[in-house]
Amino acid sequence: MATARTSDPRRAALALLSDFEARFDPGSVPPVPVERIAESHLGLLIEEVDDVRTIEGAPTDEGRLSGLLDPAARTIWLDRREAARSPGRRRFTIAHECAHWVLHVAGAAAGAASTDGCRVADVAEQDEDGTTTRARGRTKREAEANAFARELLMPELLLIAEIERTGHNLPALAERFGVSVPALRLRLLTLKLLPAWMASAPVAERGGERR
């Protein structure tokens, strides 16, 4: 496998996607097949559990967890209820945990990998890009994982192609990419792909998450 080692989360996400496409038939993309990338390409098992805090090694003192990567068991644990409530959220959390694997585990020295749980607030689909701020340690890793997830699920070139095809129909685009409408909207805003009149419009309701 030729995944280029890079500490830039965006480049790492694009490298992962192109490695996957070189090895497997990606089928019709978007949506980016994040589950297949995790399972077939990275060899990570995806499991759902009622409460991620019950997994051995998970932090139990920081509120509910959306997800957890157990590097030793090569398993991504997801909160079952959260995953069921929103397929877009489930996909984002999987992409976020893939980021921890690619950025923070696979490149780390043997034994250095930790099993930090990812709190609900850590897995932030709608946060502004925080990777350029001077965050450190865990907060920096969470911001990097979110930047990676946004890039993996909503690559700029695919967004541009879909917008050319179907226009700026945000619920339709969100559905096509398997993400929530607010996450898509923020991504378009960040990439300056949102027309000015839409950028000032109120954020769509969260209905786009239900499919």
Q: Which stretch binds Zn ion (CB under 5 A): 36-44, 116-124, 157-165, 192-200?
A: 116-124
For Zn ion, the closer CB: 100 or 185: 100
Q: Counting contacts by CB under 5 A, is residue 118 touching Zn ion?
A: yes
Handedness of CA 173, 35, 47, 105 (dihedral sign): negative
| Rounded-to-integer distance, Cα 193 and Cα 94, Å | 25
Residues 2-41 that bind Zn ion (CB under 5 A): none
CB of 139 to Zn ion, least distance (A): 10
Q: Confirm or reject binding of residue 113 to Zn ion (CB under 5 A).
A: no
d(CA 211, CA 199): 24
Which residue stretch of 1-9, 14-22, 53-61, 122-130 sits at the interface with Zn ion (rule: CB under 5 A)?
122-130
Note whether 183 and 190 are within 8 A (CB).
no
Residues 142-161, one symbol each (x = binds Zn ion by CB under 5 A, - = not), give x--x----------------
Rounded-to-integer distance, Cα 3 and Cα 28, Å: 22
* Nearer CB in complex with Zn ion: 142/209: 142
Q: Which residue is closest to Zn ion by CB?
A: 118
Q: Are 40 and 69 in contact (CB under 8 A)?
A: no
Residue number with CB closer to Zn ion (142 or 175)? 142
Segment contacting Zn ion by CB under 5 A, of 17-25, 140-148, 166-174, 178-186: 140-148
Q: Give the CA angle between residues 81, 186, 188 to the nearest 5°.
A: 125
Cβ nearer to Zn ion, comparing 103 with 194: 103
Side-chain-side CA neighbours of 164 within 13 Å: the count stands at: 6
Contact 37, 131 (CB under 8 A): no
In the bound complex, what is the minimum distance in angstroms from residue 103's beta carbon to Zn ion? 10
Output 38 or 194, the one with its CB closest to Zn ion.
Answer: 38
- How far apart are CB 74 and Zn ion at their closest, in Å? 16
**CB within 8 Å of 95: residues ≥ 6 apart:** 34, 148, 149, 152, 153
Binding-site ranges for Zn ion (CB under 5 A):
118, 122, 142, 145
